[in-house]
Amino acid sequence: MNALPRGRRLGVDVGKVRVGVALSDPDGILATPLVTVPRDMAAAPGAVPGDIAELVRLVGEHEAVQIVVGLPVRLNGAEGDAAIDIRAYAERLEHAAGQVPVVLTDERMSTVVATRRLAERGVRGKRQRAVVDQAAAVEILQSWLDAQRRQMR
């Protein structure tokens, strides 16, 4: 049985307003919430948007070996405008991150699941909105980590 190469992974849930970020442990077993970054839609053409610059900083700070970005796929498996936007975002992120690879993973229902889990814990309203992006990033990264482990069995 092959193991997932050692190293932390950053999980990213890109929204229109905020970017939720999660971090795995070095063994790739558990994803935990890290931070929510405001989305920078006003960056000058050719400039690195502030949210991407912050993700690159987090990669360096946590010595991440890979970035896992959630790809919003429709329930029928088709990709729409949102997926096209996220593919472009991931490409900009990979360019800015240098040697750290970016992978896309199906994020269907991640925000729905994250919202439900937060509500089950009694986190609602403004408190929920503040952390739902991080929780969705955890769902994205944890699902990806679990899938990698299943493939290696």
CATH assignment of the domain containing 146: 3.30.420.140
Tens-place pLDDT, residues 103-112: 999 887 666 6
Q: Give residue 136's domain range.
A: 8-151
Tens-place pLDDT, residues 144-153: 999 898 887 7
Whether 1 is covered by a domain: the verdict is no
DSSP annotation of 60 reads H
Q: Mean pLDDT over residues 68-96, rounded?
A: 92
Tens-place pLDDT, residues 124-146: 776 666 678 888 899 999 999 99
Whether 63 is covered by a domain: the verdict is yes
Whether 3 is covered by a domain: the verdict is no
Query: Where are any strands of DSSP class E within the chain?
Result: 8-14, 18-24, 31-38, 64-71, 102-106
Domains identified in the chain, total number: 1
